Amino acid sequence: MAQWQRQLVKIDDYRWQIPQTYKTGMRVPGLIYASQEMLESMRDEQTPDQVANVAFLPGIVGCSLAMPDIHWGYGFPIGGVAAMDTGEGVVSPGGVGYDINCGVRLLRTNLSEGEVRPRIRELVDALFRDVPSGLGSEGKIKVSQKEMDQLMVGGANWAVKRGFGLDDDLDVTEEGGCLAGANPDRISDRARKRGMPQAGTLGSGNHFLEVQVVKEVFDRHSAGIMGITGPGQVLVLIHTGSRGFGHEVCTDYLRTMEGAVTRYGIKLPDRQLACAPVESPEGQAYLEAMACAANYAWANRQCIAHWVRKSFSQVLGRSADELGMRQIYDVAHNIAKLEEHKVDGRRLKVCVHRKGATRAFPPGHKDIPRRYADIGQPVLVPGDMGRCSFVAVGTQRAMDESFGSTCHGAGRLLSRGAAKRSINGREVIRELEQRGITVRAESIPSLAEEASRAYKDVSAVIDVVHEAGISRKVAMATPLGVVKG
């Protein structure tokens, strides 16, 4: 692929603008958060062109934003944020992605590395056994048609009512684990059929469970409020989404939007950007269906968190409560939200698309848990399985500049095919074990796709958002044990 050669306007060391004049049809400029070095790989991938394409969408306000972990997606780039005026703007399923509410949940423990390391093999085996994972995996919970409706409306709430986890978990989940407006009538039979057997499963691909140890704390006050005590403490990270259910919802509504694009006379540079006005019947139907899928994902992570606690409790012979396994937070990485933001000095209702991006609301915001009111919303940024993950918090600058959004992870460097050709799954396991990381995976070859070398370094990504001021680093943790589908 040819390199993207056009000029980017440097705003400062971490901000680069794609002028509105780059392409006729752009309604706003593009804004990329990146270091000078990162720009090169972005240019190789032509991602700035995708950022510019998003700027064509009707009703877009501010800038078409790109986070430093951005990589090429279909239509919208992954790592992109776009806010549309709900009055005259559009909603696009491609701006959310297929895996609706793919996201991350982080649990703390009272355990130290010294206590866990000698038992890590047992723990990882227990997690592998207790949390259904892998391609074609089916859940341990059987969901009837009627329960599926309740799950779509209730999200994590539904799971807690069924005995999976604690009320306290809901307090520290984005949207309380239940996005309003979910309407099961908007869900096709096919989506239900894909979703019902997969409820409560981790899935495959880049989804994982990770037992981590805190390596560094950058902000002791914020860490303390989250229950992160210091280096050596063990945490557990859960990364999964809405499985085949979300994919079917996205596929269904891309089809709907194809028709809508013609009906409303919307001109697009890429078919995968298909969209409809937020206020149109098609736009509303998508938002109601997307909420069902978002809730499905929250129910999914809620069930998995429950089984994680059970596995720990069984292996270590103490209750999850005694082990201090409280939830720190749960965030969505792929979602569209109706929010109020300040645009050009006035309050505006917007539909914020975050595709591979995290909400990062500042201290004092009404939508974040009271316990975090002083520090800002926790932001969870997983890296690849060999390196590290970060906990950060949202800032006022994010609110003022990026519609309260920040990065979501490392971002791919090598395609899955290129990773498989150059890296061997068994070698990956050996390398990780040499570094003291225990891995269990359903599929050994697919491990190669997720090797460290296939990803950008998440530390560089987090440094950019920290330096740019759209979030603040709190802590860093490295893996002890990994379970992959």
Partner 1 sequence: MKGSFEIIDHTADVGIIAYGADAKKLFSNAALALFSLITEPETIEGRLRFDLEVSAPDRESLLVEWLNELIYLFDAEHVLLSRFDIEALTLTDLRAACYGERFDQVKHKLKTGVKAATYHMLKLDKDGDEYRAQVIFDV
The residues of the shown chain that bind partner 1, judged by CB under 8 A, are 45, 71-75, 78, 98-99, 135-136, 190, 193-194, 197, 203-205, 244, 247-248, 250-251, 254-255, 258-259, 270-272, 274, 412, 414-418, 443, 445-446
Of residues 207, 239, 408, 466, which has the active-site annotation?
408
Distance between CA 54 and CA 28 in Å, rounded? 9
Q: Is 466 a catalytic residue?
A: no
Residue 365 CB, nearest approach to partner 1 (Å): 31
Residue 412 CB, nearest approach to partner 1 (Å): 5
CB 226 within 8 A of CB 474: yes
Quick one: 110 or 272, whose CB is closer to partner 1?
272
Quick one: 318 or 416, whose CB is closer to partner 1?
416
State the angle between helix axes of 36-44 and 458-468 in degrees (0 to 180), rounded to the nearest 10.
Answer: 120
Query: Which pairing describes strands 78-85 and 358-359: parallel, antiparallel, or unpaired?
Result: unpaired
DSSP assignment of 366-407, as one string? TTS-GGGTTT--EEEE---TTS-EEEEEE-HHHHHHSSSEE-
Distance between CA 98 and CA 79 in Å, rounded? 14
Distance between CA 293 and CA 55 in Å, rounded? 26
Residue 5 CB, nearest approach to partner 1 (Å): 19
CB 377 within 8 A of CB 394: yes
What the block records as the tokens of 255 is 């089809």
Residue 94 CB, nearest approach to partner 1 (Å): 8
Residue 145 CB, nearest approach to partner 1 (Å): 14
What the block records as the tokens of 318 is 């103490």
Quick one: 135 or 180, whose CB is closer to partner 1?
135
Quick one: 73 or 362, whose CB is closer to partner 1?
73
Quick one: 43 or 310, whose CB is closer to partner 1?
43
Query: CB burial class (10 A; 0-12, 13-18, 19+) of residue 159?
Result: buried
Quick one: 334 or 438, whose CB is closer to partner 1?
334
Residue 63 CB, nearest approach to partner 1 (Å): 23
What the block records as the tokens of 129 is 């056994």
Residue 205 CB, nearest approach to partner 1 (Å): 6
Quick one: 23 or 397, whose CB is closer to partner 1?
23
DSSP H or E stretch at residue 483: strand 471-484
DSSP assignment of 301-330, as one string? HHHHHHHHHHHHHHHHTS-TTTTT--EEEE
DSSP H or E stretch at residue 299: helix 281-316
CA angle 65, 66, 72 (to 5 degrees): 130
CB 105 within 8 A of CB 327: yes
Query: Looking at the annotation, which residues are catalytic?
Result: 408
